[in-house]
Structure 1
Amino acid sequence: QDRKCTNVLCLLFFICFWFGMLVVGIVGFVKGNPNRLRYGYDFLGRTCGYGDVKGLKYLYYPFPYNSTSSSTDLTWAVCLKDCGLTNASMLSIIKIQGVGANATTDSSSFSSVMSSFEGPQQSFAYLTDQIQEKWGVIVASAGIALGVSLLYALMLRLAAKPITFAVLIFTWFLLGGATAILSIKAGFIDSSQLPGSSYSSSYLPAGFTFQQAQQNQNLVIAAAVICGVIFLIYTLLFIFLFKRVLIAIEVIELASECIMTIPSVFVFCIFQWLVMISLFVWWIFVMLYLVAAGSWDANAHQYVWDTALQRVMIYHFFGLLWGRSFILAIGNLVVAGASAEWFLVDDKLNLVLPVLSSFRRTLRYHSGTAALGSFIIAVVQMIRWIFRYYMYQLKKMNPDSKIVKVLAFIGECCLACLERFLNFINKNAYIQTAITGAGFWTAAVAAFNLLVRNCLRIGTLNIVATIYIYIGKLFIALVTGIICALIMVGGDYGNVTDAPVFPMTIILLIAFGIASIFLDVWEICIDTIFQCYCMDEE
């Protein structure tokens, strides 16, 4: 009830910026001619099919290869009424020295086998036919993946504790076994003194023995020491962080229960991604007009972009980065607000539209916070793209320079780490804003201090949650793929492998995408409930 609008100035700046984006779109629509990209233009800059060359919609390159520079040259082109249906083929004759034989064949021989070679058009038509034949299963795979996602949440709600301990204990045995084997190979342990070593050796794979390694001794010793240190650290962490592991499991169970109680959060996520897709469609549409808005250079026989147009394109590109980050920020605030409301009320089963309430609250009070946080991320992403551009130019000038490659690698790593850190801070700041109604900077400081005070807990929670995220993505994608494959082959388990590869690839990608969306929501629920728990405890 005591909330007020946060970071209003940044929201006003965001609105003004997007007013500029609309102006950019109008400029592109007025000056651009996307038909130039669709049909091409001749050596005089005339768009094929329009103006002086109306009716000539096909582009032909009479001299596509420049023998002087030994490179492709597409500056000379003419517009034609049609290009015909004749395929042009070129055979490469390989000269072989030392072969003393001659063979002569009729020229019709090549024509007789020409039809056996499939071109890109035939392959594309075949893949399109597969999609048309299985389109129903492909569309249904989205709903199946969502159902499997809810099933995964139910599994975590009912069995998160045994699954977690099974994974942790399995990892402990795996590290212990690897350490023992490497220690024997390194000579730290005498295998002949081990109980039952002669009996167990008969079950080992061919070529593998419990004997000290004779080759690469130093490498084996180093591997044994490293594996042993990791095993020791893992064991100590498991012992000393056992209580924190239990808390992490409780938080994961609560997050799963939260998602099962308010499944409408997925409806909002679908709406969020539809808005994201609309942003990308708008951006591409405007960019096509901007790209086609250049001026004709008669000397170069091509259209060029002046400085003003290049700056407009940069502005438009930054708008994409900021808009994308803003949509994701709104999504984080809405999901965090609904999760916090679920955690803080007593009657969790009778919540009245918590997602819609959180959405209204976010738009009314905290759009400025989303604009500020997303602006910071967009600036860092823009710096990364500028850095990549200049590194690309340096690599073109010095393709073999190791210094340039090292600088590019180090710079990209540093900027990627900075972006990940700021994303982490932003996400937790959004959660604080959703819980307390504070502005961005106040929420960021409060979230950072809260996480520092509970750093061991948050570290343990992140490790356990990461395990479930990776397992969840594989589980949802594979189960969805198996179900869809069974549908395609009519329920015949023995012929599951006969399901068409291309539709199955699309289905797996759809399932993996939905799993990623689901687990992103689940991760925000986990972080929100953890912060609520820590604040409640304090």
Structure 2
Amino acid sequence: MLISSKPFTRRCFPALGIKGNEVTVGNSTDFQDGEGRTVQAKDLLPAVKNATIVAETRIVVMKIFEDFTQSWYWILLGLVIATILSLIFIVLLRFLAGIMVWVMIVMVILVIGYGIFHCSMEYVHLKNAPGANITLVELGFQMDLNVYLHIRQTWLAFIIILAILELIIILLLIFLRKRILIAIALIKEASRAIGHVMSSLFYPLLTFLLLAIVIAYWAITAVFLSTSNQAVYKVFNQTECPYARRTCNPENYTGTEMAIQCPNSQCLFAFYGGESAYHKYLILLQFYNVFLFFWCANFVTALGQMTLAGAFASYYWAFSKSNDMPACPVFASFGRALRYHTGSLAFGSLILAIVQVIRVLLEYLDHKLKGAQNKFAKFLLCCLKCCFWCLEKFIKFINRNAYIMVAIYGKNFCTSARDAFFLLMRNVIRVAVLDKVTDFLLFLGKLLIVGIVGILSFFFFSGRAKGVDLVPNLHYYWVPILTIIVGSYFIAHGFFSVYAMCVDTLFLCFCEDLERNDGSAARPYYMSSTLHEILLKNTEEPAVSSPSSPQEEEVPLRTQKASME
């Protein structure tokens, strides 16, 4: 349809106006759509509003892209600093585990406290600023996110969030103060294990590389699937034309009746579509591609977990740590996982991938039914999404411990998952008070690194660092700050995931050691005497033994190797 228009951000928009109390386009309140129907000018308002949002979003995206081009080298420097801090923290944990844990706890509290102090100062500073007392509801959604930083309510929200986080951490530390001492002992043992297997710190780089390959393969396949349909071409006209938006063939368009009657028109590509049989199955193929992506990504993650578990298990089940351990424990464990346990890795990752694809299907249905008015359907869909989220978390927990048991004994996935589950259930108190407390302390370590790097990047990019004249000229200084914070978290998570896997492996080996051995000369413990004394003294749970169990005759592979030697 041809209507009066005006340029806006290099696009043609309807020339809407107000004449009296009516909306007009040009000088008319209605117009013909070219097919004999009359359209009211006011009916264009929703479309113009949405198009304006799209245009403004495009401008913001371009500004963000320009900020990345201006600050990418500073972002890389920030990520390098996060990597160095993570390495320093890991090395210090190796020699000063107890001191570093308490320093980490105090530093996290101080960093969050400084965040509360800074937000409070900004809140007070904006007290008499014009327009600062407007509420976020009145402000609405703004494409320029810097606007929110000039509103007092934004800083008040930051203060409340940080204060709640600080309170939760302090309360957890108060209630878990006795368990922290036990967790420190487990972290010390993990530090010794990592000291004997230092190459494990760099294994996450291989996992990251493999995941990058999987993501790239999935993305390329998705693009090929989306563009492998028939290309649809339509007539685009600059003047009035009865064949506007009709399909055409660009190869012989110039000699057709459409081109003769509309000399200023062109036959241009519109979209990929058509009525081919392949088009009917395109969504199914895309879902299949997503399923393969989840399966391969879970397989890569499972391979890393089993490799690290095998390396740390070889440390635990060695009487003499320097003599009985293999020369390259990570490489040896990686080879065993690929040679003997590929089926277990594939089966465990398959179960997890099926659950994740079901969650994607539920999200797809939720998107399709967003406009439905059936309250029961929405409630049922919400319940299903919640149940499958919990199921995914449970399967990840079971898979992680099953891979540890596979690395120790070499059994199949189902048997290892059953043995790991019942072993943890027999030691459920230790799981609650030791393993999870250790995970909490390692999470505080991630927060500390992210907080330090985030504060440094904030002072640099906001121009508040005195004496620094190298700040790039940016549209939004929060773009590189958020990028560095997110990247720093993933970097810290990569290093601390090795520690977490080490702790989980040693903890499962510890529980297994208690059930297999009694500390006598015939059946000595493999754990260190310090770890044995602290864990048995403080967990307030006697060692569980089941001599009548058929599993009593099972011996870990590391023990078998030591006995043979």
TM-score (ref. length: structure 1): 0.60
**May I ask how many residue pairs the two structures share in their alignment?**
374
Name 2:75's counterpart in structure 1: 138
Q: Report the AA paired with residue 323 of structure 1.
A: C
- The yes-or-no answer on 1:388 pairing with 2:360 is no
Name 1:251's counterpart in structure 2: 186
RMSD (Å), alpha carbons: 4.2
- The yes-or-no answer on 1:265 pairing with 2:200 is yes
Name 1:536's counterpart in structure 2: 513
**In the superposition, relative to structure 1, how do residues 519 and 141 fare at CA in structure 2: closer, same or farther (>3 Å)?**
same
Q: Tell me by how many angstroms 1:511 deviates.
A: 0.6
Distance (Å, rounded) in 1 between the aligned partners of 2:18 and 2:219: 45
Q: Report the AA paired with residue 140 of structure 1.
A: L
1:248-327 correspondence runs (5 A): 248-295=183-230, 303-304=273-274, 306-327=279-300
Distance (Å, rounded) in 2 between the aligned partners of 1:142 and 1:483: 12
The equivalent position to 1:336 in structure 2, one of 290, 295, 309, is 309
1:175-254 correspondence runs (5 A): 242=178, 246-254=181-189
The equivalent position to 1:149 in structure 2, one of 66, 75, 86, is 86
CA contact (8 A) 1:341 1:354 kept: yes
Over the matched positions of the two proteins, sequence identity in percent amounts to: 30
CA contact (8 A) 2:93 2:100 kept: no
Query: Secondary structure of 1:325's partner?
Result: helix
Distance (Å, rounded) in 2 between the aligned partners of 1:458 and 1:300: 67
Unaligned runs of 5+ in 2: 22-54, 110-166, 234-244, 248-270, 516-565
**In the superposition, relative to structure 1, how do residues 360 and 526 fare at CA in structure 2: closer, same or farther (>3 Å)?**
same
CA contact (8 A) 1:333 1:430 kept: yes
CA contact (8 A) 1:164 1:249 kept: no
Deviates more, 1:376-385 or 1:121-130: 121-130
Distance (Å, rounded) in 1 between the aligned partners of 2:321 and 2:414: 33
Name 1:431's counterpart in structure 2: 404
**In the superposition, relative to structure 1, how do residues 166 and 340 fare at CA in structure 2: closer, same or farther (>3 Å)?**
same
**In the superposition, relative to structure 1, how do residues 497 and 344 fare at CA in structure 2: closer, same or farther (>3 Å)?**
farther
**In the superposition, relative to structure 1, how do residues 245 and 448 fare at CA in structure 2: closer, same or farther (>3 Å)?**
farther
Name 2:263's counterpart in structure 1: none
Distance (Å, rounded) in 2 between the aligned partners of 1:154 and 1:91: 66
Q: Tell me by how many angstroms 1:378 deviates.
A: 0.8
CA contact (8 A) 1:432 1:444 kept: yes
**In the superposition, relative to structure 1, how do residues 145 and 262 fare at CA in structure 2: closer, same or farther (>3 Å)?**
farther
Unaligned runs of 5+ in 1: 1-61, 66-82, 98-117, 172-226
Name 1:413's counterpart in structure 2: 386
Name 1:509's counterpart in structure 2: 486
Deviates more, 1:128-137 or 1:467-476: 128-137
TM-score (ref. length: structure 2): 0.57
CA contact (8 A) 2:105 2:444 kept: no
Name 2:132's counterpart in structure 1: none
Name 2:544's counterpart in structure 1: none
The equivalent position to 2:336 in structure 1, one of 353, 361, 376, is 361
Q: Report the AA paired with residue 351 of structure 2.
A: I
CA contact (8 A) 1:161 1:249 kept: no
Q: Deviations over 1:445-491 (max 9, x none)?
A: 11111101110001112431232233122211122334556777999
Distance (Å, rounded) in 1 between the aligned partners of 2:63 and 2:367: 38
Q: Tell me by how many angstroms 1:427 deviates.
A: 0.4
The equivalent position to 1:370 in structure 2, one of 330, 334, 345, is 345
**In the superposition, relative to structure 1, how do residues 444 and 96 fare at CA in structure 2: closer, same or farther (>3 Å)?**
farther
- Identify the structure with bigger relative contact order (alpha carbons < 8 Å, sequence gap 6+): 1
Q: Report the AA paired with residue 269 of structure 1.
A: P
Distance (Å, rounded) in 1 between the aligned partners of 2:3 and 2:380: 37
Q: Deviations over 1:17-59 (max 9, x none)?
A: xxxxxxxxxxxxxxxxxxxxxxxxxxxxxxxxxxxxxxxxxxx
Q: Tell me by how many angstroms 1:128 deviates.
A: 4.2
Distance (Å, rounded) in 2 between the aligned partners of 1:285 and 1:339: 37
Q: Tell me by how many angstroms 1:329 deviates.
A: 0.7
Distance (Å, rounded) in 2 between the aligned partners of 1:95 and 1:495: 56
**In the superposition, relative to structure 1, how do residues 165 and 459 fare at CA in structure 2: closer, same or farther (>3 Å)?**
farther
Distance (Å, rounded) in 2 between the aligned partners of 1:424 and 1:89: 54
